[in-house]
Amino acid sequence: MTRVVRPHPGLALAVSLAVLGGCAGASSTPPPAAPAPAQTETPQVAQQEGGGGRGGGRGGRGGGQQQQQQQAPRPYADVITSAAETSTGVFKVHRIEDDLFFEIPRSRLGQDMTVMRRQVAGSGSQGNMTVAWQREKDRILLRRTSYGVTAAPGSAIAQAVDALNFGPIIAAFDIASYGPDSAAVIEVTRLFTTNISDFAGVNSPQADRSWITWARAFPENVGIEAVQTGTAPAPEAEAGGRGGRGGRGGSSTASARIHWSIRLLPVEPMTPRFHDARVGFSSVSTIDYSLPVHRAETVRYIRRFRLVKRNPTAELSDPVKPIEFWIDPATPEWLVPWVKSGIEKWQPAFEAAGFSNAIIGRVAPPPEEDPDWSPYDARYSMIYWRPSTTQNANGGQQADPRTGEILKAEVNMFHNVMNLVRNWYFTQVGPLDTRAQMLPMSDSLMGALVEYVVTHEVGHAIGFPHNMKASAMYPVDSLRSASFLRRMGGHTATLMDYSRFNYVAQPEDRIPPHLLIPQVGPYDKFAVMWGHKPIPEARTPKDERATLDRWARQQDTIPWFRFTTGDAPNDPEDNTEAVGDADAVKASGLGMRNLERVAGMLMKVAEKPGEDYSTLDELYGNVVSQWGRYNGHVAGIVGGAYSQEKYGTGRRFRPVERERQREAVQYLNRVAFQVPEFLLDTEILYRVQAEGLVARIRGAQASTLNSLFNQSRLNRLIEYEALEPPGSTYRISDLLTDLRQGVWNELDAGSVRVGVYRRNLQRAYIESIDRLLNPPPPDPDEAGGGGRGGRGGGGGNFPNDARAMVRGHLVELQQLVDAALPKAADATTRLHVRDLQIEIERLLKVD
């Protein structure tokens, strides 16, 4: 069968990608007319695992069984009897006792449809794919389709691209009958009850314990629910995630209720908008082999909802069809208003694109009002509330692979996310909000925190990835000004950053508590405008490019419109969990002040007669982690380079100033490598643990040291020294000298005494150098294993200058340690210094 892409008018390509485990798809040419077309080819039907059960039933073929003789179509009334429960929509669906039939008209053959599989109950899995129904003689084939590679119809390469897109046949069905309009009637029961892996919600479903419970046709889609019984991975094999295909260590029986929503892709595809790395959007992509360029060109379109103005000439207009998010009936009643508000927080951003009332939260109808309504229906974007101990939430979407149009957006709110935001809020801004100084927090505060999470995840669901650069776009001092925060809408330019709560603000700043929580900011409004504002004069995506480029270049003069640079691994302004990382030294210092206040609140907040100390233990652990996180933000300055994504208008990277890097290392010497007394409160420690504090502190400090001695960081210091004017950059020798003064200064004293935390720090320092000089051998199972020489199978993976400087630094440390040994003031220090001698000698020894 010849298959070529049928693009939207003005397009030369189509694209594919779908979130949440989606698969790709493509369309095909219409088949010959029913009922007896000439055979064009004999397809190879994919062999299915498992067996038994309903088998071919009424002319079908059972998965895994030997092929039965094909039966001729029978009279319609003999197949679709008076006992049939029929619903009509995108095509007819008939249910006769335990059997399910689809009646597929000629107009639906060859049209792409998306299949969304979702778990309703039990232990199952979910997935997405794009398929098309095709006919070959008296059989209907269900074929997976793909838009991963495309070509314009009529181009010389189109036929070869079509062959490359030859998709697998998921299942083949004998045509049991023809409807009055020559629609093909097929029995599809086994698609949902036997081991056809693309449709299986559990491993190896067994027909004798699987059955269809519900099926309906709607104008755009059909919905089916079934109970499937098969196997699940054994408990020891579940680390890789639920719903996997088997696992080591055996398996156990699993049953799940699964919902499939099979939705027709839009008959009139939305006009897509090209992706631009300067503005953060998720995207769909294709390699278009028919473009007039001298390479295989990947083209990307942003994922977005289709918004059309009801009044095209109005500056601000309601859309013809708004974005609707339905709120899961399982959502705790008291949180429903907060979830709805979290959805609609995006409304001002869409107003910037010219749309009023563009995004709406709706409460799901009760069964008595709409018995066929399902939260898993492909027509409904959802905020799911999951009964789970997972401390998280996530968002994504299923998109039209041709254009990026979002068909179904989904947010998963795991119930225990409330514990996560409680810990964040208390640890970061507890001293700034009296409501956080008593546990449990009030419902009004928790509601506001859940609202924040919902708004962030809805951002993902409507197409936005994270933008970690936004938290560095405001001056640190401005984050302590209530008037600035009101004017800018919060302490970060976007809600899509991981810039949780404003720990830079101090109690004396008197910041209203609602301004401590991120809001939809100026970047969000800019990005929504860029992605959704109509460009009336444009007829094709190419026509929009000049306008989109002009909008994107506003970033040159408005820094808070900037987005994360995708290939900038060392931008110190691109941190997660950061506030005010335009100056991480100042911001972290202010955060440390609040953290010390938080530590002083722990006993009052978390100790209650009659309750155990699990809450105190959890909150104390969060305080220690936050201390390490602040240090990590500062360490990122060393070897860093500022970045701004640009399209042909100048440099994208600029090394961080030498003095700023030196300031960062001095901060680490003063804070990260000296254990704060507020972490050593024995009244807390002897309540929460019998041991482990010393190791916990060492682990946090070792993480910072390993970051500084990271191979890539040292490589960058050498590279920038080579590229920049002499004396203008921070060098490896500067880093080693500054660390020597901060980590080893006790050894210079007339009487040397090294405490337990500093002994651990110095050991961790030597271990970091050891790891750098002698990396572990590469995994032989990894591609390209073998490595490039060096001790331990991995040395030599960084410039010789770095090796020479680090070894020279070890020689200087050896001399310092040798001189310190006779000055040791106690036996423990003497043994420690002697141990350092032995370790340094080992590292300097040449095999």
- Cβ(89)–Cβ(102) below 8 Å: no
Q: Is the pLDDT of residue 39 over 90?
A: no
Separation CA 516–CA 479 (nearest Å)? 10
Q: Percent of the chain scored above 70 by pLDDT? A: 87
* pLDDT band (50, 70, 90) for residue 798: low
Residue 480 in domain: yes
pLDDT at 675: 85
Is 766 in a helix, a strand, or coil? helix
Both 540 and 667 in one domain: the answer is no
Contacts of residue 278, defined as CB under 8 A and 6 or more positions apart, other chains included, come to: 552, 555, 562, 563, 645, 646, 647
Find tokens 């002697």 and name the residue: 834
CA-closest candidate to residue 605, choices 439, 442, 444: 439
Mean pLDDT over each residue of the chain, to the nearest integer: 88
Q: Which of 579, 600, 627 is the last residue of a domain?
A: 579
| 121, two tokens | 């109950």
Separation CA 102–CA 691 (nearest Å)? 65
Residue 229 in domain: no
pLDDT at 846: 66
Q: Which of 553, 579, 605 is the last residue of a domain?
A: 579
| 456, two tokens | 């962030």
Both 436 and 542 in one domain: the answer is yes
pLDDT at 70: 72
Q: Tell me: the pLDDT tens digits for 419-431?
A: 999 999 999 999 9
Both 655 and 568 in one domain: the answer is no
Give the mean pLDDT of 506-511: 98
- What are the helix (H) ranges across 176-252? 189-193
Find tokens 């009964």 and name the residue: 387
Both 649 and 521 in one domain: the answer is no
| 319, two tokens | 């859309």
| 475, two tokens | 């001056």
- Starting at the edge strand found earlier in the chain, the sheet holding 381-386 runs 359-363, 323-327, 381-386, 406-414, 393-399
Q: Which of 547, 579, 611 is the last residue of a domain?
A: 579
Both 342 and 490 in one domain: the answer is yes
Residue 195 in domain: no
* pLDDT band (50, 70, 90) for residue 44: very low
pLDDT at 54: 36
Q: Tell me: the pLDDT tens digits for 757-775?
A: 999 999 999 999 999 988 8
pLDDT at 781: 57
Per-residue CA distances from 190 to 63, 87, 94, 124, 140 (Å): 8, 20, 14, 18, 14
Q: How many CB atoms lie within 10 A of CB 184?
A: 28
Separation CA 762–CA 828 (nearest Å)? 14
Both 441 and 523 in one domain: the answer is yes
- Starting at the edge strand found earlier in the chain, the sheet holding 184-187 runs 85-87, 92-96, 99-104, 184-187, 177-178
pLDDT at 792: 38
Both 575 and 624 in one domain: the answer is no
Q: Is the pLDDT of residue 211 over 90?
A: yes
Separation CA 151–CA 161 (nearest Å)? 7
Q: Report the half-sphere exposure of 215 (CA within 13 A, side-chain side).
A: 25
For 292, counting Cβ atoms within 10 Å of its Cβ (0-12 exposed, 13-18 middle, 19+ buried), the class is exposed
* pLDDT band (50, 70, 90) for residue 785: very low
Q: Tell me: the pLDDT tens digits for 227-243?
A: 999 987 555 433 333 44
* pLDDT band (50, 70, 90) for residue 69: low
pLDDT at 795: 43
pLDDT at 671: 96
Instruction: Report the DSSP pairing between strands 406-414 and 653-655.
Output: unpaired
Residue 60 in domain: no
Both 386 and 485 in one domain: the answer is yes
| 329, two tokens | 């009936």
Both 705 and 798 in one domain: the answer is yes
Q: Tell me: the pLDDT tens digits for 741-761?
A: 999 999 999 999 999 999 999
| 642, two tokens | 């500022």
Is 165 in a helix, a strand, or coil? coil
CA-closest candidate to residue 574, choices 635, 502, 633: 633
* pLDDT band (50, 70, 90) for residue 847: low
| Dihedral-angle region of residue 426 (phi above 0 means left; psi in -120 to 50 means alpha; beta otherwise) | alpha
- Please give the residue that has the higher pLDDT: either 5 or 579: 579
* pLDDT band (50, 70, 90) for residue 156: very high
pLDDT at 123: 86
Separation CA 173–CA 186 (nearest Å)? 6
Residue 392 in domain: yes
Q: Percent of the chain scored above 90 by pLDDT? A: 82
Per-residue CA distances from 476 to 134, 288, 481, 577, 718 (Å): 61, 46, 10, 15, 30
Give the mean pLDDT of 343-367: 97
| Dihedral-angle region of residue 638 (phi above 0 means left; psi in -120 to 50 means alpha; beta otherwise) | beta
| 446, two tokens | 């928790």
Q: Is the pLDDT of residue 251 over 60?
A: yes
- Cβ(668)–Cβ(738) below 8 Å: no
Residue 601 in domain: no
Count H helices, E strands: the chain? 20, 22
CATH number for position 335:
3.40.390
Q: Is the pLDDT of residue 528 over 60?
A: yes
Q: Is the pLDDT of residue 828 over 80?
A: yes
Give the mean pLDDT of 111-121: 96
pLDDT at 71: 80
| 200, two tokens | 């299986």
pLDDT at 65: 41
For 597, counting Cβ atoms within 10 Å of its Cβ (0-12 exposed, 13-18 middle, 19+ buried), the class is middle
- Cβ(179)–Cβ(185) below 8 Å: yes
Residue 215 pairs in a beta bridge with: 224
Is 213 in a helix, a strand, or coil? strand
Residue 638 in domain: yes
Residue 171 in domain: no
Both 700 and 804 in one domain: the answer is yes
Q: Is the pLDDT of residue 715 over 90?
A: yes
pLDDT at 550: 98
pLDDT at 775: 83
Q: Tell me: the pLDDT tens digits for 629-687?
A: 999 999 999 999 999 999 999 999 999 999 999 999 999 999 999 988 999 999 999 99
* Phi, psi dihedral angles at 404 (to 5 degrees): 85, 0
| Side chain identity, residue 53 | G
3-state SS of 541-590 is HHHHHHHHHHHHHHHHCCHHHCCCCCCCCCCCCCCCCCCCHHHHHHHHHH
pLDDT at 693: 87
* Phi, psi dihedral angles at 643 (to 5 degrees): -140, 150
Separation CA 85–CA 57 (nearest Å)? 18
- CA angle 812/814/816 to nearest 5° reads 70
Separation CA 275–CA 310 (nearest Å)? 26
Q: Is the pLDDT of residue 460 over 50?
A: yes
The number of distinct structural domains making up the chain is 2
- CA angle 210/216/218 to nearest 5° reads 145
- Cβ(172)–Cβ(41) below 8 Å: no
Both 574 and 623 in one domain: the answer is no
- Cβ(24)–Cβ(145) below 8 Å: yes
Q: Is the pLDDT of residue 312 over 90?
A: yes
pLDDT at 43: 32
* pLDDT band (50, 70, 90) for residue 37: very low
pLDDT at 797: 55
* pLDDT band (50, 70, 90) for residue 13: very low
Instruction: Report the DSSP pairing between strands 211-217 and 221-233.
Output: antiparallel
Q: Which domain holds residue 340?
A: 323-579
| 616, two tokens | 């105190």
Both 464 and 574 in one domain: the answer is yes
